[in-house]
A and B are shown apart, each in its own frame.
Chain A
């Protein structure tokens, strides 16, 4: 049985058949919402995790590199199905919106209300502008190559400017304990995390930071290059998982 719906032509349903079709759409919508909150959030938490959980992990070097790189995975895989098979230009936005819902619920009820971390310490980052642009480029170009190169790059490059208005205030310098640090650092020192001690914090390592304020654009462009490759890889992973094969045994 062929599942290539895009090559077939259909006349619109009317009456009861239209209602059946629409009811099926709504069921799938609910299904997809919880599926992508649950699955993309788990993937994201266990790969980007700490850079997204804690304000003092949101540095200039690793945060803008790791977050888009791991964040473009599910959007690419879902676009491969929703655009490739259903001509729906919303795969990336759906995934990222679902992720935002999941992270916000967890930060408020799991971190703030249960364990009393200040909500400012655990604000999630956003990839919504990146996802909107990724979907728009795919819709306008209808091309995997162009979306991978330009969409993937924009997904990474937009990440830091999109988040700067949210997190800039935590990067202002303060003086504490006879030393200069950021407000974000101070959060980390004031609210002790038994499972994530200071020696594990991966921020601003190596020589990249010696470039001063150029560190962030360098990380962002490095991420842009990797995102073009990651996008293509995950497009094919999404296609592979969306197989319609039936097996005789498992």
Chain B
């Protein structure tokens, strides 16, 4: 069969495109890139200004460099949450009964990408910036709940992973038939449990303010955070639900080379 130049170009173009089940791969990778830039940017900001302006909360310069950042974060938290959650809710699929198996498979891939982005945010909040909290509070005299690391960890990182976890939950609930018919217990545990880590900030700050100024990390004052993060193990159940359904769906589609 003769192939025209235009035809060849289209074929080459198709080769570069991700397959149908990975349609959201570019957005997924872009999500990783954006989050990496944000988190590294915040860490560079801390490195540049924490020692020079973040050690004494009574200094006017603290208000400029740190409390302003705190207020900006609060606004961003509200904007990001309402933007993402609003979009996912208002663009929901109202005809899930007629969903084709191929489209459902694609959506399972996209759900897994949402959960993956969520766990990436959990990494920065639960691993890097959490341990950094201990490090910073060894060199700074803690004279405010809004320390140079708390402002980023508690009021940006924690809300952001909660927002992204909520996105995964909403995506499943609004676009996948099984999750729309019933509420997935493991997905709910994996999203709402770590949400309780944010709530534990209240107990943490109360304790550190009134009776425990030191930063003894393994102390019971921090165990509210620990119990919250155990619920991330619910991801095992999500994978079992997803894998079982994917097997059923793969049986429903035609074999292709």
Contacts and interface: CB of A to CB of B under 8 A. Distances in A.
A23 interface: yes
A103 B131 contact: yes
Interface in A12-58: 13-17, 19-21, 23-24, 27-28, 30-32, 34-35, 37-39, 41-43, 45-51, 53
Given A42-B127, A194-B140, A196-B138, A106 B239 contact: no
Interface string B180-192: 0111111011000
Contact of B218 (A49, A106, A111): A49
19 contacts: A14-B255, A19-B19, A20-B105, A23-B21, A38-B229, A49-B134, A49-B218, A49-B222, A51-B218, A110-B135, A114-B50, A115-B139, A196-B216, A242-B234, A242-B236, A243-B234, A243-B237, A246-B183, A249-B183
Interface residues of A, number: 72
Interface stretch (B60-68, B70-78, B91-99, B241-249): B241-249
Interface of A: 1-3, 5, 10, 13-17, 19-21, 23-24, 27-28, 30-32, 34-35, 37-39, 41-43, 45-51, 53, 66, 74, 77-78, 81, 85, 102-103, 105-107, 109-111, 113-115, 117, 193-197, 200, 237-238, 241-250
Contacts of B19: 16, 19, 23
A127 B116 CA distance: 26
Nearest to B223: A46
A106 B257 contact: no
Given A3-B240, A49-B218, A42 B233 contact: no
A19 B97 CA distance: 27
Contacts of A102: 123, 127-128, 131
Contacts of B50: 114
Nearest to A29: B116
A39 B186 contact: no
Contacts of A46: 130, 217-218, 222-223, 225-226
A227 to B, nearest CB: 18
A31 B186 contact: no
A196 B215 contact: yes
